[in-house]
Amino acid sequence: MSQSDAFETARQKFFWHRAISLPDGRLVEIALLLREADWRPLDAHWWREKQASIIGADVDGNFLLRHCDGSVRYWDHKAQANLVVSASVRDFALQMREHDRSNLSFKRTPDGAA
């Protein structure tokens, strides 16, 4: 299965409840994945790395990026850092799993926001 086929299959199969586990153990609930035809080079003031394209986003507004080296990275806006999630888009697609939202709990911050 090619990289494109693996990604498209995962994009369609896990349309609504998609998640991946980051190397640091965090579970990321994916809100959207873009079709490969819609990937465009990222041009943002906060991105200082080599060329990358946004391929998706999580429910907190952080981005999944395809880096020019072929890896998929997780951009954490709050930390202003990226983390390599997988060595390739194909590997990323194979890591994706259906996420059971029935056991999610919302944690409140000290100011009371969800």
Report if residue 11 sits inside a domain: yes
What tokens does 84 get? 């390599």
Q: Are 68 and 91 in contact (CB under 8 A)?
A: no
Specify if 55 maps to a domain: yes
Average pLDDT (22-47) is 88
The answer to whether position 14 is within a domain reads yes
SS (H, E, C) 75-88: EECCCCEEEEEECC
- Is 108 inside any structural domain? no
Confidence of residue 42 (pLDDT cuts 50, 70, 90): confident
Q: Using 50, 70 and 90 to split pLDDT, how confident is the model at 96?
A: confident
70-108 burial string, b = 16+ CB within 10 Å, else e?
A: ebbbbbbeeeeebeebbebbbebbeebeebeeeeeeeee
Inter-CA distances, 102 with 52, 81, 106, Å: 34, 30, 12
The reported pTM is: 0.73
8 A C-beta contact, residue 32 and residue 57:
yes
Q: For residue 110, is it within any domain?
A: no
Number of domains into which the chain is organized: 1
